[in-house]
């Protein structure tokens, strides 16, 4: 991972976050929340696109808020962007939403050396503007020891996936509801929770940046079947993941396997 690219990702995520806060502040509280979210998405995408075009004109981009292009599949570098992850939380005036900026580089060694993929995530940043926080792959540091007490499991505050319950039961875990995927993964990185399991459908931009940071922090990251998370695939759909402290990975994966096969872990 390159420090320069991580710093650039952090700068871009921070600027987009500032734009989002400005947009939200410009709406009165009684204004339709969906309009706030739509305006924020558009303005953040506009700012990120301009910054990437200025700094990295030869790089390709995959963004939730822009038309996809097959050119990225042969590009050497691809930025994977979610200008506003957690539009609902943003629209409601909450703080648990994020900006994702990740860089995929062709030829980079994958996190799982057995994975036969053309490249890997090499730098990323996640901004949580509501907390004035930016995490990036160069400065994130490693995870500390787990605090005493029950295992804490991040879960969607609006639509927790069915797989959450067997994992909660197996770990005797405490559920901690929160907003966007980026915030949930960042919570594992920050030690606020111990794991995040998702199987309800996501896309590459929902997880690329936070997964890169989680890997840099030393967390376990995979699909729910234990296979690697692969980015810059032709189909942007990447519906499930596990992010957790390494000591919990075996138990979580075994529980998921048992739950999806009808057996007991």
pLDDT at 262: 60
Tokens representing residue 39 in the block: 């305006």
Tokens representing residue 241 in the block: 């993941």
Is the pLDDT assigned to residue 158 strictly greater than 60?
A: yes
Overall average pLDDT of the 96-106 stretch:
97
pLDDT digits (tens, 9 = 90+) for 230-244: 999 999 999 999 999
Round to the nearest angstrom and report the end-to-end CA distance of the chain: 37
| Residue 11 neighbours by CB distance under 10 Å | 17
Is the pLDDT assigned to residue 1 strictly greater than 60?
A: no
Overall average pLDDT of the 256-260 stretch:
92
Overall average pLDDT of the 9-37 stretch:
86
The reported pTM is 0.94
Is the pLDDT assigned to residue 264 strictly greater than 50?
A: no
Nearest to 180 by CA among 41, 31, 49, 67: 41
Q: Name residue 98's beta-bridge partners.
A: 85
Tokens representing residue 125 in the block: 């940043």
pLDDT band at 116 (very low <50, low <70, confident <90, very high): confident
pLDDT band at 30 (very low <50, low <70, confident <90, very high): low
Rounded Cα distance between 18 and 147, Å, is 33
pLDDT digits (tens, 9 = 90+) for 83-92: 999 999 998 8
- Indicate the average pLDDT of the chain: 92
Counting Cβ atoms within 10 Å, is residue 235 exposed (0-12), middle (13-18) or buried (19+)? exposed
CB 150, CB 195: distance < 8 Å: no
Mutual angle of helices 3-25 and 33-55, in 10-degree steps:
150
């Amino acid at each position: 991972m390159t420090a320069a690219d991580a710093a650039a990702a952090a700068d871009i995520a921070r600027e987009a976050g500032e734009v989002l806060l400005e947009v939200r502040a410009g709406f009165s509280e009684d204004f339709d929340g969906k309009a706030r979210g739509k305006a924020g998405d558009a303005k953040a995408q506009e700012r990120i696109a301009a910054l990437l075009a200025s700094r990295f004109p030869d790089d390709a981009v995959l963004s939730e808020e822009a038309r996809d292009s097959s050119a990225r599949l042969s590009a050497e570098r691809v930025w994977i962007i979610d200008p506003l992850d957690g539009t609902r939380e943003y629209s409601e005036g909450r703080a648990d939403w994020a900006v994702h900026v990740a860089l995929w580089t062709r030829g980079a060694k994958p996190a799982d050396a057995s994975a036969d993929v053309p490249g890997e995530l090499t730098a990323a940043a996640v901004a949580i503007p509501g907390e004035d926080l930016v995490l990036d792959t160069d400065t994130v540091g490693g995870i500390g020891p787990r605090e005493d007490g029950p295992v804490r499991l991040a879960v969607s505050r609006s639509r927790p996936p069915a797989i959450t319950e067997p994992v909660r039961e197996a770990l005797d875990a405490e559920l901690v509801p929160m907003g966007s995927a980026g915030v949930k993964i960042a919570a594992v990185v920050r030690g606020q929770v111990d794991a995040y399991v998702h199987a309800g459908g996501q896309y590459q931009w929902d997880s690329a940046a936070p997964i890169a940071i989680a890997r840099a922090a030393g967390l376990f990251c995979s699909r729910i079947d234990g296979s690697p998370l692969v980015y810059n695939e032709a189909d942007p759909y990447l519906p499930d993941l596990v992010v957790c402290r390494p000591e919990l990975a075996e138990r979580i994966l075994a529980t998921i396997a048992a739950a999806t096969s009808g057996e007991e872990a």
